[in-house]
Amino acid sequence: MDKEQRKNLSQTILNKKDLVSDLTLQGHFERKPMFTHRYNPRQLELCRKDILYNLSFLAQAIELDSPKLFEAYVRWLRTFLNHIGVLIPDVKDNFISMEQALLGQVSENEAPEIKSYISLALNVLEIYDSEDPSYISKANPLRIEANTFLNHILAGERHKASEMILNLVRQQESIKSIYLNILQPVQHEIGRLWQTNQISVAQEHYSTAITQLVISQLYPYIFTNVFKGKSLLASCVSGELHEIGLRMLSDIFELEGWDTWYLGANMPHGDIVKTIQKKKPDIIALSTTMTYHLSLMEDLIALIRSSGIQTPIMVGGYPFNLDPELWQKVGANATASDADTALRVAFKLVEAV
Amino acid sequence: MRYTTLVMLCDSTGQLKSMLINHYPQLKIEPGQNWFQILNPSDHEMAQHTFLNIASQSEAMDVEFVLNFQQAAIPVFLYGNRIADAVLLKAESELDDICQYYSKIEKLDADTISKIRAMYEGKTGVNERDPNYIRFLEDLSRVNNELITYQRELNKKNAELAKLNELKNQFVGMAAHDLRNPLGIISNYTRFLIEDLQNSLDDTQKEFMDIILSTSNYMLKLVEGILDLTYIQSGKIKLTLQRFDLDVMLKDFVPLQQSLAKRKDIQVVYTGLMTELWVEADSVKIRQVLSNLIGNAIKYSPANTLILIQPLVQGSFVTIKITDQGPGVPEADLERIFEPFQKSSLTLNPDEPSTGLGLTITRNIILAHHGKIWVESTMGKGSSFFVALPLAKD
């Protein structure tokens, strides 16, 4: 399928997602009649919502021709659902019903694409591989501090958490090292603990808020106003609330002498373009965590370019780490998997200009 | 492989009751524990047989039991996951189903059930998948994100302002430095002219010359104050610390101030403590502080009054209290007078102009010594300025 056809198929899935989710549920119950009495109305609604999520991820992966994205999503889903007690065979049944529902809504030419993605999902669900280990690795030079910090934030001890980090700063530990060896892996670890149902969504949000608080207390050390002449403008795409990764990247650029403008989460695209035109940065960094925001990323980059802005654009976030070629598909100039790589990439991009 | 067993188990109402009371909403029975406690004891043998039978047929095993109840259809789901050699059983029920159970099986009235509902909600907190709850958490995240983004902006702006302030200090310092010399020349040459021409000037000319001298002296004082302040604000204040007896210094220093006070018939009195007051401080700057405070007291006091200078030892500090019988400082000005270019709202004698910098410089010098300065005042009766300095350690 060419790009246009994939975009059309993706659009069909999104346009018909309500109907497809209803048909999926219907098919699911036809296949397993005893399930009909298992769900109360609220549970039915939740199940329907999960199907809508699956369809969003599927549509996005098809549009960007990225089976890797869908594979990663299903793997993530399998871990998550398994940990909250949903049986994997049920999930498989659900995907099979979704396939049937979708096949009734797409053309004959499009059917093989749907079948190949669902078959990929069923294969992933079949595998019982070991789960991701802790993100605080044994090779981490600050692993003891990272684990202590994690324990403080999971216990809701925000004062202890921030005091511990500020003490490290007083003991001359570099801010960059604190970011890369404590704050970043601990944020990843919190995500893993939530995914594996070891902490609640409220705890996950609270933990992120504590990390944000700690970062805000590091700001007086970060902003020294000593610039080496290069500037960066960083923003999440519209609707994206996961911002802490890009924030850390911006702060590390600032520490390295870049003048940075960090616009934050959920920024309207028109405002991003206006700010770029006003500030004229040397590099633009855009981020998304949720795979289903990738189309918005593509739209944003197209909007920036159609506004006559030729500044190099670097993209990053979870989906770009899953599919190393994705940055090209959204129209960016480069990607980087972490802040250190981003610094190197940014220098190269600036030199090339 | 997955097996579903839909078996008519015996009435497990008693077990269900215990489960709901103790374990709502999720009951996890870890491998090794007795998961049979959920079932009616009459079903144990059959349930065990079912599990063993399935386990012998398949390595990977998920089993679902649906418990039926004879008195009412309350769905409770038991999920069995085979993990290694153990079986993990999980039972779930919904709050609505629990309420149905209480109304149908326990036959409780609506009021009691609503209390039970509240109890369960209180016990288990919120439903994590409730869309309203998720929206609430997202809103909190949104607000938090915005707050920290503003905070980042604020810190960045602060750093920019600090840099601009430093540039301003450098500029003002340079400007004031360049103004000081010509102003000094104007002042000195005016004084020479007044001295040389004192017999040949008429009264008007003499008055003009006096105005030139006093104005240039005031400007010189202002420029020197600005220089002092910019130096201090740039963080360049350097103290030459030495140990000295403050009591001895005050005994020498206070009589020198008496000459200034004489014109107004003001008496400046130092009451010593008959004890040594060793401090480790910059004696030149401490003299500047005392000169400033005593000078102010003289400036603001009416004629024929008393200015009292008393040392007090409190803990590890020595406090010098300078009390005048002036008009007092209004309560609203007690803090403000230490800010640059802020003068007391009380009008001053026009012959004794104030630059508005003396108390700011004084406070900065005291703070650099890890000391404290404050004022207490009663309108119409007078003011007391307190300067506390740490006593030198043995």
- The three-state DSSP-derived secondary structure of chain A is CCHHHHHHHHHHHHHCHHHHHHHHHHHHHHHCHHHHHCCCHHHHHHHHHHHHHHHHHHHHHHHCCCHHHHHHHHHHHHHHHHHCCCCHHHHHHHHHHHHHHHHCCCCCCCHHHHHHHHHHHHHHHHCCCCCCCCCCCCCCCCHHHHHHHHHHHHCCCHHHHHHHHHHHHHCCCCHHHHHHHHHHHHHHHHHHHHHCCCCCHHHHHHHHHHHHHHHHHHHHHHCCCCCCCCEEEEEECCCCCCCHHHHHHHHHHHHCCCEEEEEECCCCHHHHHHHHHHHCCCEEEEECCCHHHHHHHHHHHHHHHHCCCCCCEEEECHHHHHCCCHHHHCCCCEECCCHHHHHHHHHHHHHHC
How far apart are the C-alpha atoms of A40 and A48, rounded to whole Å? 12
Are residues B117 and B14 part of one domain? yes
How far apart are the C-alpha atoms of B114 and A232, rounded to whole Å? 57
Which of A87, A217, A287 best probes binding to B when mutated, by most B CB atoms within 10 angstroms? A87
Name the packing angle between helices A17-31 and A88-103 (round to 10°). Answer: 130
| AA letter at A145 | E
Residues B204-238: tens digit of each pLDDT = 999 999 999 989 988 888 888 888 888 777 777 77
CATH of the domain at B276: 3.30.565.10
Cα distance from N-terminal residue to C-terminal residue, chain B:
84
**A299: alpha, beta or left? (left if phi > 0; alpha if psi -120 to 50):** alpha
More confident residue, B381 or B113: B381
A224 touches chain B (CB under 8 A): yes
CATH of the domain at B64: 3.30.450.20
Which of B156, B166, B167 best probes binding to A when mutated, by most A CB atoms within 10 angstroms? B156
Using alpha carbons, list the distances in angstroms from residue B202 to B147, B190, B199, B207, B215.
Answer: 71, 16, 8, 9, 20
Are residues B91 and B13 part of one domain? yes
How far apart are the C-alpha atoms of A72 and A252, rounded to whole Å? 28
How many cross-chain Cβ pairs, A to B, lie less than 8 Å apart?
93
B245 touches chain A (CB under 8 A): no
Of B94, B137, B155, the CB nearest to A223: B155
**Do residues B264 and B299 lie in contact, with contact meaning Cβ atoms separated by under 8 Å?**
no
More confident residue, A212 or B102: A212
Domain boundary among B93, B122, B157: B157
Residues 56-85 of A with CB under 8 A from B: 85
B30 touches chain A (CB under 8 A): no
Residues B307-336: tens digit of each pLDDT = 999 999 988 999 999 999 999 999 888 888
State the residue range of the domain holding B271. 242-390
How far apart are the C-alpha atoms of A174 and A255, rounded to whole Å? 10
Domain boundary among B233, B256, B277: B233
Number of separate domains in chain B: 3
How far apart are the C-alpha atoms of A305 and B343, rounded to whole Å? 58
pLDDT of residue B6: 42
Residues of B in Cβ contact (< 8 Å) with A42: 94, 96
Residues of B in Cβ contact (< 8 Å) with A251: 152
Mean pLDDT value across chain B: 77
Are residues B339 and B274 part of one domain? yes
B77 touches chain A (CB under 8 A): yes
How far is A256 from chain B, CA to nearest CA, in Å? 14
Question: Smallest Cα–Cα separation from A234: which of A126, A134, A137, A343?
Answer: A343
Strand-strand pairing, B382-390 and B372-378: antiparallel
Are residues B61 and B199 part of one domain? no
More confident residue, A204 or A83: A204
Domain boundary among B124, B157, B190: B157
pLDDT of residue B49: 67
3 state SS of B311? strand
Q: Do A209 and B144 touch (CB under 8 A)?
A: yes
Contacts 24+ apart (CB under 8 A), A336-342: A338/A180, A338/A184, A339/A179, A339/A180, A339/A184, A339/A248, A339/A249, A339/A252, A339/A253, A340/A180, A340/A252, A342/A249, A342/A252, A342/A253, A342/A285, A342/A314, A342/A316
Using alpha carbons, list the distances in angstroms from residue B220 to A131, B186, B334.
Answer: 77, 10, 27
Of A213-227, B119-133, B150-164, the range with the lowest mean pLDDT is: B119-133
**Do residues B354 and B368 lie in contact, with contact meaning Cβ atoms separated by under 8 Å?**
no
pLDDT band for position B18 (cuts 50, 70, 90): low
Residues B205-229: b if buried by 16+ CB within 10 A, e if exposed = eeeebeebbeebbebbbbbbbbbbb
pLDDT band for position B1 (cuts 50, 70, 90): very low
How far is B215 from chain A, CA to nearest CA, in Å? 41
B59 touches chain A (CB under 8 A): no
Q: Do B152 and A262 touch (CB under 8 A)?
A: yes
Are residues B363 and B343 part of one domain? yes
pLDDT band for position B7 (cuts 50, 70, 90): very low
DSSP state of B43: G
Tokens of B352: 């004794």
Of B4, B90, B142, the CB nearest to A85: B90
How far is A89 from chain B, CA to nearest CA, in Å? 7
Is the previous residue joined to B25 through a cis bond, with omega within 30 degrees of 0? yes
Using alpha carbons, list the distances in angstroms from residue A208 to A213, A214, A265.
Answer: 9, 10, 14
Per-residue pLDDT at A276 exceeds 90: yes
A249 touches chain B (CB under 8 A): no
Are residues B376 and B252 part of one domain? yes
Cα distance from N-terminal residue to C-terminal residue, chain A:
35
Are residues B171 and B144 part of one domain? no
Are residues B253 and B209 part of one domain? no
Of A37, A128, A219, the CB nearest to B151: A219
Of B145-159, B171-185, B279-293, the range with the lowest mean pLDDT is: B171-185
Which of A38, A162, A216 best probes binding to B when mutated, by most B CB atoms within 10 angstroms? A216
Are residues B225 and B344 part of one domain? no
Of A225, A262, A263, the CB nearest to B159: A225
How far apart are the C-alpha atoms of B203 and A180, rounded to whole Å? 80
Residue position matching structure tokens 């609503």: B114
How far is B171 from chain A, CA to nearest CA, in Å? 19
How far apart are the C-alpha atoms of B222 and B200, rounded to whole Å? 32
How far apart are the C-alpha atoms of A2 and A200, rounded to whole Å? 42
Are residues B343 and B214 part of one domain? no
Of A271-275, A345-349, B107-111, B253-257, the range with the lowest mean pLDDT is: B107-111
Residue position matching structure tokens 């049986």: A87
How far apart are the C-alpha atoms of A124 and A133, rounded to whole Å? 19
Are residues B253 and B222 part of one domain? no
**Do residues B15 and B40 lie in contact, with contact meaning Cβ atoms separated by under 8 Å?**
yes
How far apart are the C-alpha atoms of B187 and B194, rounded to whole Å? 11
pLDDT of residue A198: 82
Average pLDDT over residues A68-86: 85
Sheet holding A313-316, edge to edge: A259-264, A231-236, A283-287, A313-316, A334-335
How far apart are the C-alpha atoms of B348 and B346, rounded to whole Å? 6
pLDDT band for position A109 (cuts 50, 70, 90): very high
Are residues B291 and B269 part of one domain? yes
Nearest CA in chain A to B161: A225
How far is B203 from chain A, CA to nearest CA, in Å? 59
A222 touches chain B (CB under 8 A): yes
How far apart are the C-alpha atoms of B297 and B348, rounded to whole Å? 12
Residues A157-214: tens digit of each pLDDT = 889 999 999 999 999 999 999 999 999 999 999 988 888 878 888 888 889 999 999 9
**Do residues A119 and A67 lie in contact, with contact meaning Cβ atoms separated by under 8 Å?**
no
Per-residue pLDDT at B26 exceeds 50: no
How far apart are the C-alpha atoms of A41 and B377, rounded to whole Å? 74
B164 touches chain A (CB under 8 A): no
Residues of B in Cβ contact (< 8 Å) with A215: 148
Per-residue pLDDT at B85 exceeds 70: no
DSSP state of B371: -
pLDDT of residue A202: 82
Q: Do B148 and A247 touch (CB under 8 A)?
A: yes
Per-residue pLDDT at B63 exceeds 60: no
Average pLDDT over residues B51-76: 52
pLDDT of residue B88: 46
pLDDT band for position B77 (cuts 50, 70, 90): low
Of A122-131, B29-38, B135-144, B207-216, the range with the lowest mean pLDDT is: B29-38
For chain B, what percent of residues have pLDDT higher than 70? 66
B100 has which bridge partners?
A: none
Instruction: Give every CB contact of residue A135 below 8 A, 6+ residues apart in sequence.
Output: A185, A186, A188, A189, A192
A277 touches chain B (CB under 8 A): no
Instruction: Give every CB contact of residue B110 below 8 A, 6+ residues apart in sequence.
Output: B103
B99 touches chain A (CB under 8 A): no
**Do residues A244 and A272 lie in contact, with contact meaning Cβ atoms separated by under 8 Å?**
no
How far is A139 from chain B, CA to nearest CA, in Å? 30
Strand-strand pairing, A259-264 and A231-236: parallel
Tokens of A324: 């190393």
